[in-house]
Amino acid sequence: MSVSYRRSGLAFTEHTITVPLDHDRPDGASIEVFAREVVAADRRAEDLPWLLYLEGGPGHSAPRGPVGWLDRALREYRVLLLDQRGTGRSTPANRKTLTEIEDPAAYLRHFRADSIVRDAEVLRVHLVGDRPWSVLGQSYGGFCALTYLSLAPEGLCEVMIAGGLPSLTASPAEVYRAAYPRVLAHNEQYFARYPGDLDVARRVADHLRWHEEFLPGGDRLTPRRFQTLGLAFGAQSRFDALHHVLEEAFATEKELSDAFLRRVDAMVSYAERPLYALLHEAIYCQGEASGWAAHHALGEFPEFDLERGGPVRFFGEMIFPWFFDEDPALVPLRECAEALAAHRPWPPLYDPDRLAANTVPVSAAIYHDDMYVERDHSLRTAGMVRGLTHWITNEHAHDGLAASGGDVLDRLIAMVRS
């Protein structure tokens, strides 16, 4: 099914296809996957090359509004914005739909990069037949692009990756053990910029220890939930967001403001991205169970312990089991989350031998101070993929693809074609 319309000099066509839930069982249950095609309106009739965009996440749908890189891409491509399975207008996976499924954990085991790639291949054949297409992967979308190169390189003519070169072999425990020091470094950068926020953050944390405060949705804001506000530190466009929340934290000396609680509610809730919480550790699993890796690694980093009385340190991209006790959007999914954390064996996501023999041109931007992806892991992987050209830069944060306008994409295009 396709629906077309025009807006702001662009032509859009919406595509919805049916794919197997499990691509190894094509006669079994099925789901729908949605993608939005975008092309410059005056070039709609041209036979342009296709560029598939894979968003970060997991569990984030493709962008709906203007993004900085899209104008650059539309100079020469017909762009396809994919709502990865379970997100956006694809068959949704959330607390309302998953609780109606007999075994939601078994269902979600088919929502990782390997299934996303197979969905993309169904879309490619549906839209362009046997022609290979280009892929642009942002963050987790870059993880998916490496899986694409491992599983179906015949569908690709070129691959561009921004901030999304993962380790091909690291366990979830290794991933998070490397992540905590990067998050602490970003905390230091934040408080160096806003030293006055040290006192405000401590006052808020102490207040939450001794007073029950409830967010507009009715759920309690606990001190450890307050610490999750550091998730935005890794993005240049959102680095300052916490400061603008903290500067209006208190309505009086002893009361938190309504504005603060409402803004925090939007930042800590996983209502719009439950798959991010459910699958974040699973995206690193190849064989072993995740076992709540971030939670267990936390004990090695006492700087985050509020009861030590030191400065408050905010968490980054970590998912903890208590999320499923304190966030109403996740509470009904606690049993599912526990089953996913305990599941083994997970199938491999990457084929090192195939990547070592790769013939598809690949370019990758590696952000030197990336909070979300370990630089050393990225550099090691860059050396393991034949034909991959990388660019390491400290000019951009993890959201450099969007925040730079078209600059990062322009360089990736030039590199992949050099």
The token duo for 326 is: 């304190």
pLDDT band at 1 (very low <50, low <70, confident <90, very high): low
Catalytic residue selected from 269, 370, 377, 399: 370
335-373 b/e (C-beta count within 10 Å ≥ 16 → b): ebbeebbebeebebbbbeeebeebebbbbbbbbeebbbb
- How many CB atoms are located within 10 Å of the residue 199 CB? 12
| Cβ contacts of 196 within 8 Å, gap of 6 or more | none
Respond yes or no: is residue 398 known to be catalytic: yes
Residue 254 CB burial class (10 angstroms; 0-12, 13-18, ≥19): exposed
Residues 26 and 19: their CA atoms lie apart, in Å, by: 8
pLDDT score for 363: 98
Catalytic residue selected from 115, 139, 171, 269: 139
Per-residue model confidence as pLDDT tens digits over 7-41: 889 999 999 999 999 999 999 999 999 999 999 99
> 49: cis peptide before it, omega within 30°?
no
Catalytic residue selected from 150, 398, 399, 404: 398
Query: Radius of gyration of the chain from Cα atoms?
Result: 21
Respond yes or no: is residue 139 known to be catalytic: yes
Set out the domains of the chain in order of their start, with CATH numbers: 2-168+350-416 (3.40.50.1820), 172-342 (no CATH)
Respond yes or no: is residue 370 known to be catalytic: yes
Global pTM reads 0.96
> 58: cis peptide before it, omega within 30°?
yes
Beta-bridged to residue 393, according to DSSP, are 367
Per-residue model confidence as pLDDT tens digits over 105-153: 999 999 999 999 999 999 999 999 999 999 999 999 999 999 999 999 9
